[in-house]
Structure 1
């Protein structure tokens, strides 16, 4: 129906502007029709409509959500060449896209670029970087990213980042670090759930402290978590 209205606009001599095109691309991308959105993107060039940061962000977001991060990166470079300043949203879309694609080093490079420009990421984007680094065994780097963001006014770490760090430290046998992170997590009001307990049980078993592992298992049962506790 949006396409029908757009055609009516042209029939009555009301030419679509960059805002109109951005809305169309967003709608198509939300429906998973990113290639159709790309057709609209090219139509803007054909009609001489100048693209602004909103248009670029719309297309970059759609490509990233479709797993086409390489194409999104090309548009990001095109922005720079065309003199269109990237916004925080541009970086958040690209960082999130690279994290979902498992390309954490690319996500980290863009995060650093965003920091140099004075942009601060949303907690969900930071979560993705921290999780991606922890999954690759680079837990100290993940902790460093979270600590740096926590220095920024208004940023609040999420349970998701804390749990990723606990999981990473436990699986690396760094139990003291895991305990420290869990204590900080509790201090921010995030209670330890079954997954956190499960990681501690497996971590203590791995380092040979079966007594602590057994005590935690008993505590889990008392709290109603049950025996099946390890995160897959």
Structure 2
């Protein structure tokens, strides 16, 4: 860093730390963080978000949360990016409860999730059987200007309702999904087939498999 001719600032350090975080070199990124502090350069929100994102990407949530607390104590307000990265990080390590706490804190401050983060949270909630709660979160985000549910959002929730045997709820979502221009695809068909097989509705199983063949999709078990 000392080889840089211009005087380094927080932005310069953030760029270098981002490159190291992308390579998974978190120890080196932390060394730059400490070097920045030793030189009396105050970390800004970009620097904090960069290193928090690095720790979240590596699943080191203790360090990410420690940085987050330090940021707040320094009087730096978190941004949507800060919360988004923490949610993704907690989902990455399977800590849905903490991810939801972060989400609620995020909403209280007037922010919303990126679509990819929402999809990740919904899928983790599905894994926990929290499908109805996941749908509520999706509805909450859909009321926010600029947010549009993705095809994956619907796939995840349809799978979740099918796993719980709530096929009617899954069918309503599939109709809504189609209304938004998303094709069902193999994942949705597989979810419904599994649900109908579970209750012994062979007629619907065969019908859906035939539809899959017509659209050129792979039918599991055939």
Task: Show the counterpart of 1:191.
Answer: 183
Change (3 A) 1:85 1:186: same
- Displacement of 1:220 after TM fit? 1.6
Change (3 A) 1:217 1:87: same
2:3 paired with 1:8? yes
Choose from 101, 114, 122 the match for 1:122.
114
Supply the distance in 2 between the matched residues of 1:50 and 1:219 (Cα, whole angstroms): 61
- Displacement of 1:205 after TM fit? 1.4
**Could you tell me whether the CA contact under 8 Å between 1:198 and 1:229 is conserved in 2?**
no
Q: Which consecutive residues of structure 2, in runs of 5 or more, have no partner in the other structure? A: none
Supply the distance in 2 between the matched residues of 1:226 and 1:67 (Cα, whole angstroms): 35
> Structure 1: which 4+ aligned runs deviate by more than 3 Å?
none
Choose from 133, 138, 143 the match for 1:141.
133
**Could you tell me whether the CA contact under 8 Å between 1:104 and 1:129 is conserved in 2?**
yes
> Within 5 A, what are the aligned runs for 1:154-169?
154-169=146-161
Task: Show the counterpart of 1:3.
Answer: none
Q: Which consecutive residues of structure 1, in runs of 5 or more, have no partner in the other structure? A: 1-5
Choose from 177, 199, 222 the match for 2:214.
222
Supply the distance in 1 between the matched residues of 2:41 and 2:2 (Cα, whole angstroms): 16
Supply the distance in 2 between the matched residues of 1:158 and 1:169 (Cα, whole angstroms): 17
- Displacement of 1:229 after TM fit? 6.9
> Within 5 A, what are the aligned runs for 1:1-232?
6-9=1-4, 14-228=6-220
Supply the distance in 2 between the matched residues of 1:116 and 1:90 (Cα, whole angstroms): 14
- Displacement of 1:30 after TM fit? 1.2
Structure-2-length-normalised TM-score: 0.96
Change (3 A) 1:156 1:229: farther
**Residues 81-121 of structure 1: per-residue CA shift (max 9 Å, x gap):** 11111111101111111111111111111111111100121
Structure-1-length-normalised TM-score: 0.92
